[in-house]
Structure 1
Amino acid sequence: MSKGKAFIVSNLDTFFLANRKEQAQVMREKGYEVHVLAADTGRSGDITKMGFVYHELPMARYSLNPFLSLKSIRDIRRIYQKESPVVIHHLGLKVIMLGTLAAMKTGAAVFNTYTGLGYLFTIDTPKTKFFRSVLFMFSKWLYSRKRVVAIFQNMTDFNLFKKHNTIDDTNGFVIRGCGVNTEEYRYAPMPDQQPLKIILPGKMLSSKGIYDFVEVAKAIKNDKTISQEVEFMLCGGIEEGHPFSAKKEEIEHWHNQGWVNWAGFQKDMLAMYTNADIVMLPSWREGMPKGLLEAGSVGRPIITYDVAGCSEAVEDGVSGYVVPFGDVKLLTERTRQLIVDRDLRVKMGENSRQYVLRHFETYKIIEENLALYNKFL
């Protein structure tokens, strides 16, 4: 029996495919007609081949132009009014803000997953502080409405919104990311290789910690007490137009100096994790970093900062190390400990796998989302 139409709304088609396709498949099995609303980067055909209905998302990703935003709200509303969904699930801050306004008076239950709070909450400037205050005021009004639900991927973000009285325990919930397909990302034995490989999975943004990663690489390569040859690899593409994007010339300079190699965007990250010995993400802030969970599922020790999202992806001292934000010296020391002790890498990698199985298996996460739908339908 059909449960009606359900929309999953994402900024990009690639984000949906990487993070929500399994959920969409389960929703279809449960009786929903699944529609995907996302910007087309060339992968929308993959969505339709899976049997989902695809709609182009009319939204300028980085623009703060209010007139463009109003046009986006109007265009999204037309799609919602035409299709009459019973469930609308928005992913990401800007999609949430525009999509929820567009969804008003549709009669749908609206679920908003904050996949990360972005640069507004990463740096403190008069501009970001102003927009944060606007966001909290807007959110308080937004979540005063019936059947509009906030979903956070970590406790830090949940507590932040709760502190500002934008949500409470009746309309705000924590679902820790979108999970990992642990059958696809199977445990792989630790490599026994030279050079030892340390990778950073993420876009080439300063907010992903790439500059600290390079500083660690320089320090390790200059440490004469380390006998192993070590390769540091950046795995991610450049995001043009992003305020924190690194320049290609910078990355090429790091490579030419012999500090790091750059693999660029990798479609097959499973192969990258399998061939790595250590995975590091000294990010400034995340929702729930799927790259770290995938690495953990494969059985790799993780090093990250004690920031929103990242700290919940690791058991400090058990499956890896959580380092105080910005402490590059300790970040380097933790990296050194894992480089020189293969047994420690193996043990922490095994613990990573078990931690992911307990808390982040994708179908457990999907069931949490579906249970929340049922609660408000």
Structure 2
Amino acid sequence: MFFDDAFSLFLQSIGRSEEIDFYLKKFRQSGSDLFALIVPDAESVSQAPEMLRTHLYFLSRLGLFPAVLLTEPVASGQIHHFQDDRTFRIETWKKEEANFSLTAPEDHRTLRVIHSERGLLDTLHRLVPSQCKRIHFVRLAGAIRTNSGESLFHCNPEANVRWEDGAILNLCRELLSNDSGIHLSVTTPFDLLKEIFTVKGAGTIVRERSEINLFHSMNGVDRQRLVALLQESFGRRLNDESILDRMIEMHIDSRYRGAVLLEDYQGMRYLSKFAVGLQARGEGVAQELWDSVLAQPGPLFWRSRRKNTIHRWYERLADGFHRLDYWTVYWKNTSSNRIPELIEYASNRPEDFSDFSLPAEGEIENDH
């Protein structure tokens, strides 16, 4: 009973229960026995072995079975941190063996620690993406950082980062060159579960930039896919799909994982819809969409429900905001004399979605 209580408290400390439930369901439905490869550096294993083992054990308690990958020339000095724990099973991949199977243990009671006698890049090239498409690099240094020391929540392979992070970014670039769809993240042994189970994460996701297309009418837009994205993101049905025809700007991810729709209001852009699909949340699509919006000139304003969980992000993006009972209204690049007018318009504008929720799985609130 004590451990069950401790386990529950630990999960609660990671993030919101709805986020954890959403990601847990997503991972369990992936259809793969192997959840991920966990690739710790030598410092993580030698200086924080208990924390690393605890996070891995909790993953197994949740029904997710990763494999730990240790490679030479440092693996031989790290193995002993796992040898005396019956939760883990050590398997050696000898250098003369060309292939290795990552299928999960049949008893589902032990976690595999793969001791590869090859180097890291060679080993990963033989396993990714053929046997695994989710890799979490774990290191004491944590997230990748810019030259000014700022942590990057999302990073493309060509980003300008500090010298110390050049090697890990080059490794990610190599892996993405073989398959741009793999999931790569960099975090600490203390934040592994938070990185995995929360939208914001606790490290850096490395992936290729999204292709954001700009449309000024519905010509060329897949209406059906756009409506599906909006309804999935908001968890409610559009009252009238014809509202799409009055949009003057639509920034849409080429894979329809996210979209920003803007209307005209007396020469100002009103951000009507900001939608990110469930599967794309936490991957940086929202920031890429926002950057695309800012690349277009003109004043901008929008509203969001007071209970929206991403209000702090909006507050950082906006030049100013005003809280009302039900809505918060934000603005950017707007003349101060027009602020009362835009607050009045945004706060009284009718909603475009029904009041009834769709049976959407793992809904994370994102209303505007």
Q: TM-score, normalised by structure 2?
A: 0.27
Of Structure 1 and Structure 2, the greater helix share is in 1
For the pair shown, the structure with the greater C-alpha radius of gyration is 2
